[in-house]
Amino acid sequence: ELARCGARVILATRSARRGEAAASRIRRESGNNEVVFMHLDLASLRSVRAFASAFLRQEPQLHLLINNAGVSVGGTTEDGFSLPFQVNHLGHFLLTQLLLERLRSCAPSRVVIVASSAHCAGRLRPESLGRPPSGLFSAFQDYCDSKLANVLHARELATREQGTQVTCYAVHPG
């Protein structure tokens, strides 16, 4: 829909094949040639930093950042965090922080963080943050914890950005 409205859209995904295919389909369906793919793997903080650096070099404008990637099960990332917590929260958190100055300079702008109503079952334990919980249903708990972190991030970012014309939202898809 953003492409149909004439926006320049950057699809940031870990799969070049799927990202390029999606960008091509959106260009064709929307008639907007300003839809491009850029590689971003949220399971690697190194990749997040590389993406942000490339984006800031190539793209002078940023008015809307939608943090929408998510996984529900997995192992441990190269950075030592649980895959769901890093992909669903830490990667997005770092990306947002790295792009925040650009969002401010292009204001009015907004950050949309796709969370989940599953955040209601989340529990953040500072002593084990980013490590998967143990026990029965641990994968689901890890997902819920990451979504609670999303909601808290959105809320804190909205508070910190008051008066800057950068607004922040957490949304439940569906």
Least confident of 16-25, 31-40, 119-128: 119-128
pLDDT at residue 128 above 90?
no
HSE (side-chain half, CA atoms, 13 Å) at 23:
19
Residue 136 has pLDDT above 80, yes or no: no
Q: Of 52-61, 94-103, 118-127, which gets the smallest average pLDDT?
A: 118-127
Angle at the Cα of 77 from the Cα atoms of 75 and 80, rounded to 5 degrees: 105
First to last CA, the chain: 16
Report the predicted TM-score, pTM, of the whole model to 2 decimal places. 0.93
Give the span between the Cα atoms of 76 and 84, in whole angstroms: 9
Mean pLDDT of 85-98: 97
Task: Label residue 73 by pLDDT band (50, 70, 90).
Answer: confident
Per cent of the chain over pLDDT 70 is 97
Give me the domains of the chain, ranges plus CATH numbers: 1-39 (no CATH), 45-171 (3.40.50.720)
Whole-angstrom distance, CA of residue 47 vs CA of residue 77: 12
Among the listed residues 143, 148, 161, 170, the single catalytic one is 143
Q: Is 169 a residue of the active site?
A: no
Looking at residue 135, what is its pLDDT?
A: 67
Residues 6+ apart with CB under 8 A from 36: 8, 9, 10, 11, 23
Mean pLDDT on 122-133: 78
